[in-house]
Amino acid sequence: MVGTERVFYMDKIQWNQKFSVNVKEIDGQHKKLIGLLNDVIRIKEEKLKFDATGDVLSELANYMDYHFSTEERYMLKFSYPEYKLHRDQHVEFARKTIGFLKKFREGSQTITDEIICFIKDWLLNHILNHDAKYGPFFNKNGLF
Ligand SMILES: [Fe+2]
Ligand SMILES: [Fe+2]
């Protein structure tokens, strides 16, 4: 992508009430994910060494996995009608991020701003447009 340096220069994400799905455990996990993503952005900005980047990316990928399992477990428990569609999104995203991580580990890929942008956009979009949908449904089933 051509353009100014700032195009992909990432601002850190501030937690905002609009991200809330009104389920305490899940909001807590989303906050943690945003925190990890901010760590990735900070490391990239400060050009910290390879190990630090790899560690935080691994932690992000692992925590993402744990988080997706939590959401899917509740969806199954309450027979959420959009389970399949939602799960497919998780699987597709995980496949891509694990791919990045693998290439990074092999040394054939650096963590570019485009990759961080992709993860950031996906995460925020997913929370706002898809996770937000199950909030009222989970609430109706007694989960807050
Ligand atoms: Fe989520
Ligand atoms: Fe989700």
> Ligand 2 centre from 5 Cα, in Å?
32
Contact 11, 40 (CB under 8 A): no
Ligand nearest to the CA of 33: 1
> Ligand 2 centre from 104 Cα, in Å?
25
| DSSP state at residue 21 | -
> Ligand 1 centre from 89 Cα, in Å?
11
pLDDT at residue 113, as a whole number: 81
pLDDT at residue 130, as a whole number: 97
> Ligand 2 centre from 136 Cα, in Å?
14
Per the structure, the complete domain to which residue 90 belongs is given by 25-140
Whether 18 is in a domain gets the answer: no
Q: Report how many domains make up the chain.
A: 1
In 3D, which of 116, 122, 103 has the Cα closest to residue 37?
116
Mean per-residue pLDDT pooled into runs of 10, the chain (144 residues): 46 92 98 93 75 80 95 98 98 90 80 85 95 98 98
> Ligand 2 centre from 86 Cα, in Å?
6
pTM of this prediction exceeds 0.85: yes
**CA-CA distance, 131 to 126, in Å (whole number)?**
6
Whether 104 is in a domain gets the answer: yes
CATH number at residue 131: 1.20.120.50
> Ligand 1 centre from 71 Cα, in Å?
7
pLDDT at residue 49, as a whole number: 60
pLDDT at residue 50, as a whole number: 60
pLDDT at residue 101, as a whole number: 81
**How many C-beta neighbours within 10 Å does residue 123 have?**
21
Share of the chain above pLDDT 70, in %: 90
